[in-house]
């Protein structure tokens, strides 16, 4: 299994509080992604990174920010959590971009976030 961990695995927080989720990889892959999974929506891309300090927005980036100061860590921050951000969050990594042969994404175990 690809070495990807997410922390915390579960979190309950209150509306308006800041929340940071961490994704850590030991594979030295260049690309990292944050998705959210909601019933009836599949997985939707929030943000992704194509290198240290290089990030870009995905389909549902509003209300989220990311940072990547080291190859192995990709942080997702909810500056002021809302109930609509209650979801399961997945981190993924890939060696190469989408048009490359080695573009398979490996997923972390997920973080269940509940915003009350």
State the residues that interact with other proteins by CB under 8 A: 33, 35, 40-45, 48, 58, 88, 90, 92, 97-99, 101, 103-107, 109-110
Whole-angstrom distance, CA of residue 68 vs CA of residue 59 = 19
Q: What is the largest CA-CA distance in the chain?
A: 43
Report the nearest approach of other proteins to the CB of residue 31 (Å). 9
Query: 27 is written with which tokens?
Result: 């594979």
Helix (H, G, I), strand (E, B) or coil at 84: helix
> Which residues fall within 8 angstroms of residue 54, CB to CB, at 6 or more apart?
68
> Which residues fall within 8 angstroms of residue 17, CB to CB, at 6 or more apart?
80, 81
Which residue, 53 or 98, has its beta carbon nearer to other proteins?
Answer: 98
Report the nearest approach of other proteins to the CB of residue 68 (Å). 15
Report the nearest approach of other proteins to the CB of residue 115 (Å). 19
Report the nearest approach of other proteins to the CB of residue 46 (Å). 11
Which residue, 49 or 80, has its beta carbon nearer to other proteins?
Answer: 49
Which residue, 22 or 112, has its beta carbon nearer to other proteins?
Answer: 112
Which residue, 26 or 80, has its beta carbon nearer to other proteins?
Answer: 26
- Residue 68: name the closest of 85, 89, 82, 47 by CA: 47
């Amino acid at each position: 299994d690809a070495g990807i961990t997410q922390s915390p695995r579960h979190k309950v927080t209150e509306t308006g509080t800041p929340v940071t989720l961490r994704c850590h990889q030991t594979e030295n892959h260049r690309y990292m992604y944050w998705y959210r999974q909601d019933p009836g929506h599949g997985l939707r891309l929030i943000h992704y990174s194509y290198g240290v300090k290089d990030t870009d927005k995905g389909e549902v980036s509003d209300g989220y920010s990311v940072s990547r100061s080291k190859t192995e860590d990709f942080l997702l921050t909810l500056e002021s959590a809302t109930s609509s951000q209650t979801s399961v969050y997945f981190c993924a990594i890939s060696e190469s971009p989408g048009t490359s042969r080695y573009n398979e994404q490996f997923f972390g175990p997920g973080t269940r976030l509940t915003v009350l």
